Structure formats: C-alpha cells, structure tokens
A and B are shown apart, each in its own frame.
Chain A
Amino acid sequence: MKTIKKIFLRWEWLLILLTVGVFFFFNDLNPKAYTLPKLMGQTRVYMVDVGFMALGALLILLLGDIDISVASTAGLAATIMGITYRAGAPFWLALIAAVAVGAVCGLINGLLVTGFKELFPMIITLSTQTIYRGINYIILKDKSVGSFPEWFGNLGYDTVRDAWFAEEMPGWVAGSPEWIQWIYNFVGDFPVMLLCLLAVFPFFFVWIHKTPGGKRIFATGENIVTARYSGIRTDRMKITLFTLNGILAAVGGIFLAARTGAVKYTHANGYEMQAIAVAVLGGASTAGGKGSVVGILLSLILMTCLKNGLNIVYNDSFIMNLSVGALLILVVLLPNIGQYISDYWRVLKRRKEAAQKASPK
C-alpha cells in the first residue's frame, strides 16, 4: 500500500499532468500550427542546448550549490571553437578545444568553491561569470565568428528523415499497417540534435539513481558534514561535478552554435537562469539533495510544449517568460501550500482530540 502511494505521490506525475494539459490546451486553440511533428521540430530551439545545461545544473543543485557561470562558460567554449577553426585547425580539434575550455572553466569554479568554503558558490560563480564573459568579450570584441563546416550547420537543422531516411517511404513501411507508418514518421521528425541529448539521459539516469556514486552525490547534498564523516571525499566530488558541469555547458554552447550558425560574445546570454529554472521545475531544490534526471527530461518537455504554444499564440518572448516564471513559482509553491493545509488540519484534529480527552464525560 505504501509503495503504491509512494509511486503516485511523485513530483513527476505533476509534470506529466501539466504537460498533457498544456499540450491539449494549445492543440485545441491552434490545431494546425500546434501538432506533435511541429513540436518535435521546435525541440531544437527550446530543449537541446538548455537540456545539457540543465543536466549540469541538476548536478550542482544536488550538491546544494549553484552555478550561474554556465552560460558564460558555454559562450566562451563556443567562441574558442570558432576561433580555433578559423585559425585553420581541423574541426574535430576545435570541438575538443571547446570541451576542454568548458572543463577548465568548471574546474576553476570547483577549485574555488572547495578552496573557499566560507564563500558562497553563488558569489564565486557570479564573479567567474563576469570573468569568462569578459575573456569572451576580449577575444571576439563586437564581431562574430561563424562559417562552420556544412555538416555542423546541418546538425542544427536536420531531422532524422533528412539525415538517414530515404527520400521516399520504403516499401516495407508503406505496405505495413498504419501504426508502423505513424512510428516511422514520428521517428523521422526527430531532430538529430534531440537524439544527441536523449542519448545522454540514460547514462545520467543510471549514474545518478542506480550507482553508489550517484547516491553519494545525494548524501553530500543532504548533509555535507555527515557525508564527509562517512568517508565520502566531498571535495573531490565537488570538483569533479563542477568540471562535468563545465563540460556539459560547453556541449550546450556547441549545439547552440550549430543552431545559430555564428557565435557572438553574447552567446547563450541568460541561459544560466533558464537551466536552473528547468532543473527546479524538474524537482531539484537549491537546498540540495533533491532532484531527478527523469524530472529534468519531463520539465524540458513541459517547457517546450508551453513555450512553443505561447510563441504561436502571442509571438512574444515576454509573455512566454512570464508564463514560465508563473509556472515555476506555482509548481514549487503549491506542494508547500498543500503541506501547510494538511499540517493545519492535523493540528486542529489533535486539538479536538485533546479537548475531548480533557473534558470529563
């Protein structure tokens, strides 16, 4: 009985419910523009680059820290990629350089956070945010760097159909029942970028939820002192996770560059807050020790559905952000209010019982 309750009283159900609600609401409003295939195409814009950064944000939030330098890291990594390629290096080298820069940025954050424990990660990453963005600004000035190889530009736009499927539907699909055709089309609509993101999720899920290493992250976030006394090398873990976060930010920045086609010094500006918003909506808490990979995926899907719908209806980024903000606060606030009410009822009940006991019959 208790396990059933546990399964159904999960945060993820709320997200799924909201996603379904949002989808059908906008689908009803705009049956032509808001369909599943078109939504799949929009995941490139709303899901992929934020998704990588949100995974990184989840790792940091699990520790109870916060990193607001990810967007600057992403920008710097993409810039390094651009200038390395422009300098004549092969493109794979440029990609490695970008990821390495991301790792170094993350490593610096991690070393500073573990080296100066009395300072808050927020303050440290606030200053490194400015520093990374500043380096980016010095490198690029007010120009932009672009003209990447063709396949890289295609990565930003291609769907699975464009990339791998034949021009016409193969005979075995055309001859098979309708649902197989539907699946064929559905898979064909997947952007390649989205596949790259989705490929990462199983690894993270297994690592964070199913291995001892993942459990150690939760333990550290829950209570760092207890974790250290029970033999977890918390400093090393923090440095590793911050480095990994930097790498994820760099990957996000690279995918964003694939989509935009050029890198300016404002590359990925404001993404740090989006990433944190996605992670929090996915059930992570800035107090640490809470969050799930599945939650991140679901909240990414919810964000995509909501943002795309609002974009179609209002065509206005401010309204879009307003709704995201309201959703963020409501989703976090509602369980607290529920808790408050249930606590209040319990107190009332106890009082009644106590009064009955006290009064002689």
Chain B
Amino acid sequence: MNGSKKRKTSFLEMFIKNRELGLIAILIILIGVVTLRTPAFLTGEKMLFIVEDTATMAILAFGMMCVMLVGSIDISISGIMAFSAMAAGIIMKNNISVTEVTQIVDGVEKIVKVRESVPLIYLLLIAMAVGAGCGLVNGLIIAYGNVLPIVTTLGMQYIIYGLAHIISDGQAVYKKDMSAAFTEFTRDFSFLGINSKTWIMLLVFAVMFIFITFFRSGRHLYAVGSNPEAAEMRGINVRRSKLLAHVIMGALAGLAGMMFASHDNKITQDLKTGYEMYVIAACVIGGVSVTGGAGKITGVLLGALTIGVINNGLPMLRLTGNAEFWKKLIQGLLILAAVVSNAAIQRTIQKRNLKGRNL
C-alpha cells in the first residue's frame, strides 16, 4: 500500500459533485445571453417576476421529485390539477354571495360588488385533499396493484379529466363565480415586495426540504428508489413509501391547480393540459434520476428556474418573426442539451476516476 495521495479535484469535478453549481452557471449564462440582447432583462423586478412565474411549476416539481425518487413517475398531474381546482371551484360557485357596497373612491360614490364565498384556506385544503385522494388512488394501484407507474398514471390521466368533466358538467367556472379572496390571492397580495406565489413556493420548499432531509420517511424515499430489495430487507415498507410519494404529489398538484386557477381567473376542465412534461423536464434538468434514488430539492428548484428563464427570456431575444413560434424548438433543444451534456460530463469524470484509481 503506497501512501494515498489525494488527487486534486478538478474544476469539472467540482461542478459534477455539486450539481447545483453547474445549474447556477447555466442560469447565469442564460440570463447573460438574454441581457446582452435586451439589457432591460436584468432588473430585480423582472427576476422576481420570473420566480413568481415559475413558482407553480416549482411546487409541482417538488412533488414530482418525491415520485421520481421512489422510481415512479406521475403523468396524471395536469388531470389532478384540473379536477381538484374544479372541485374546489364548484364548492365556491355554489356558496357565492354577492353584496353591493357603496364606496367612495376619489370623492365619487361607486357601487362595488363584493363577492364572498367559502374562506380561501378551506378551498385550498379541499383542493389539496381532492388531489391527495387522486394521488392515493395512483399510489394504491402502483404500489399494491403492481401496475407500472406510467401505465397507471396514463390511464388515470384520462379518468381524472373525465371526472373533472362530469362534476363540472362541461361548464367552466368564471370570475363572476369566484370569491374576491380567491381571485386576488396570487395577484394582489404581496409581502416585502414579493408575490404570494413566491411565498407559497418558498413555504413548500422549506417544508419539503425539512421532510426529505430530516424525517425518516423522507429518507426512506431515497432508499426505496436506489434499491427496493435492500430497502425491503432493511425493514422499510417500500409500498407505503411509494404511496406516500404519490399522495404528496397529488396534494401539491391540488395546490398548484388552485394557483393556476386563481392566476387565470378561470377554471376549465382542460386546465394546463400537457403541463406534466415541463415538470418532468424541470426535475431531470435539476438532477433527479428517472430510475430513482438520486436528486436534490435545491437542484429541482434551480431546474424549474432554468425553464422559467428560458420561457421568459425567449421573447426578449427578439428572434426573427414571432418568438412564440421558436419557443417550443428552443425549449426542446435546451432540455436535450442539458441532459445530454450532463451525461457526457459524468462519463468523462468516471473515465478519469478509473484512470486515477490507486489499486
């Protein structure tokens, strides 16, 4: 045995060991490129807006991370969002009461309609409960019925959209049926200059961070994902962990659905169709492995922000013609570049580690 000389960690390795650093670098490059073209992009206000715009996606991505950690996947989240928002929306619609209040605005008397309904917090809880219920069904079928996750959630996607259609009878819930508290909670409310959506996202982030780093059942998610057999031997209830992950995903999807509904001031039965793919992309860019067992919540947050910067920065690039047309292509190319470059870098590192190994 010769003295093990500590190999100097290279710059590249530092980036790989700390995936978040690499993501931050990508973010800075992206923002830099856009700023070169449009200097107005790099303002605090715009950055805050991007975070606000990405908040809902980030919340969904946190849930998706839990699901992907246990080696499962959920492509029914857009259905869950529509269904839970619709369920809460219908309860709100049925309890709406409009009172006319005379207010004095700028010395002129005005009649203002005040729409009131079930308190907002109850609505959010209802939506989250409905979402969690959908997640529970997903989890039961996947964990206890041994059906492959992608098949289950594909089927559930159809079913849940159908249920949303049935309970709504094909009718959308419009602003006139929404309480003022609901329509305003993502728009007008802000604290310390930061929008409520960002606050909710930070709250969910904190809760999830604590849950996944310090709680036993949170750590179990990693164990189950990296090696289910070993986890089973170790006495971890694999099935319950999977169920838990799906319930968390469902509840967060319910919350996100309400946030989208409030932002759009409209609840339709096809709310955010196809959104699950963005969320999965955010997770993958953030370093969550599809096979399970690997991924960090900070990475997921940065992954979501990367997509947010791409979405918001593209119009600022002022490409030829309408940027809207280019958006999809560039999104796809960037996602592909992110995952492929990560794989390539990892491969070089592994090769180098093999070379430098002292045997």
- Considering the chains assembled together, what is the distance between the CA atoms of A333 and B152 in angstroms? 9
Say whether A124 faces chain B, with CB atoms less than 8 Å apart: yes
Say whether B291 faces chain A, with CB atoms less than 8 Å apart: yes
One of B116-124, B158-166, B189-197 contacting the partner: B158-166
Q: Contact: B325 with A137, CB < 8 Å? A: yes
CB-CB under 8 A for A134 and B162, given A273-B154, A333-B147: no
Residue of B148, B161, B326, B336 near A318 (CB, 8 A) is: B161
Q: Which of B140-190 contact A (CB under 8 A)?
A: 141, 145-148, 150-152, 154-159, 161-166, 170
Say whether A28 faces chain B, with CB atoms less than 8 Å apart: no
Say whether A144 faces chain B, with CB atoms less than 8 Å apart: no
**CB nearest to B148 among chain A residues:** A286
Residues of A within 8 A of B340 (CB): 112, 116, 119
Residues of A within 8 A of B277 (CB): 126, 129-130
Residues of B within 8 A of A130 (CB): 277, 328-329, 331-332, 335
- Considering the chains assembled together, what is the distance between the CA atoms of A130 and B130 in angstroms? 31
B320-359 interface code vs A (CB 8 A; 1 in, 0 out): 0010011111111101100110011011000000000000
Residues of A within 8 A of B162 (CB): 318-319, 321-323, 325
Say whether A205 faces chain B, with CB atoms less than 8 Å apart: no
Q: Which of B235-290 contact A (CB under 8 A)?
A: 269, 277, 280-281, 284, 290
B44 to chain A, nearest CB (A): 31
Residues of B within 8 A of A325 (CB): 154-159, 162
Residues of B within 8 A of A326 (CB): 155, 158-159
CB-CB under 8 A for A328 and B335, given A120-B291, A318-B161, A318-B165: no
Residue of A120, A129, A318, A336 near B147 (CB, 8 A) is: A336
A49 to chain B, nearest CB (A): 18
**CB nearest to B328 among chain A residues:** A134
Q: Contact: B343 with A122, CB < 8 Å? A: no
A259-277 interface code vs B (CB 8 A; 1 in, 0 out): 0000000000000010011
Residue of A118, A131, A277, A340 near B336 (CB, 8 A) is: A131
Q: How many residues of B contact A (CB 8 A)?
A: 47
CB-CB under 8 A for A133 and B328, given A287-B148, A325-B159: yes
Q: Contact: B336 with A128, CB < 8 Å? A: yes
Q: Contact: B151 with A286, CB < 8 Å? A: yes
Residues of A within 8 A of B161 (CB): 318, 321-322
Q: Contact: A131 with B329, CB < 8 Å? A: yes
Q: Contact: A277 with B335, CB < 8 Å? A: no
B226 to chain A, nearest CB (A): 15
Residues of A within 8 A of B326 (CB): 134, 138
Residues of A within 8 A of B146 (CB): 336, 340
**CB nearest to B281 among chain A residues:** A126
Q: How many residues of A contact B (CB 8 A)?
A: 45
Say whether A141 faces chain B, with CB atoms less than 8 Å apart: yes
Q: Is the interface of A mostly helix, strand, loop or mixed?
A: helix
Say whether A342 faces chain B, with CB atoms less than 8 Å apart: no
- Considering the chains assembled together, what is the distance between the CA atoms of A123 and B157 in angstroms? 19
A284 to chain B, nearest CB (A): 10
B333 to chain A, nearest CB (A): 6
Residue of B141, B322, B330 near A333 (CB, 8 A) is: B141
Say whether A127 faces chain B, with CB atoms less than 8 Å apart: yes
A179 to chain B, nearest CB (A): 40
Residues of B within 8 A of A332 (CB): 147-148, 151-152, 155
Say whether A245 faces chain B, with CB atoms less than 8 Å apart: no
- Considering the chains assembled together, what is the distance between the CA atoms of A112 and B325 in angstroms? 25
CB-CB under 8 A for A131 and B332, given A318-B269, A325-B157, A325-B159: yes
- Considering the chains assembled together, what is the distance between the CA atoms of A133 and B141 in angstroms? 33
A79 to chain B, nearest CB (A): 13
Q: Which of B272-317 contact A (CB under 8 A)?
A: 277, 280-281, 284, 290-291
Say whether A66 faces chain B, with CB atoms less than 8 Å apart: yes
Residue of B158, B166, B280, B325 near A141 (CB, 8 A) is: B325
Q: Which of A93-145 contact B (CB under 8 A)?
A: 112, 116, 118-120, 122-124, 126-135, 137-138, 141
**CB nearest to B280 among chain A residues:** A126
Residues of B within 8 A of A137 (CB): 325, 328-329
Residues of A within 8 A of B329 (CB): 130-131, 134-135, 137-138
A341 to chain B, nearest CB (A): 12
A/B interface sample: 30 pairs, CB < 8 A: A116-B340, A119-B340, A119-B343, A123-B281, A123-B284, A124-B336, A127-B281, A128-B332, A128-B336, A131-B332, A133-B328, A134-B326, A134-B327, A135-B329, A137-B328, A138-B325, A141-B325, A318-B161, A319-B162, A321-B161, A322-B161, A322-B165, A325-B154, A325-B156, A326-B155, A326-B159, A328-B154, A332-B155, A333-B147, A336-B147
Q: A119-B343, A328-B151 are in contact. List 13 more A-B contacts (CB 8 A).
A: A112-B336, A123-B284, A134-B327, A134-B329, A134-B330, A141-B322, A273-B154, A325-B156, A325-B157, A326-B155, A328-B155, A332-B148, A336-B146
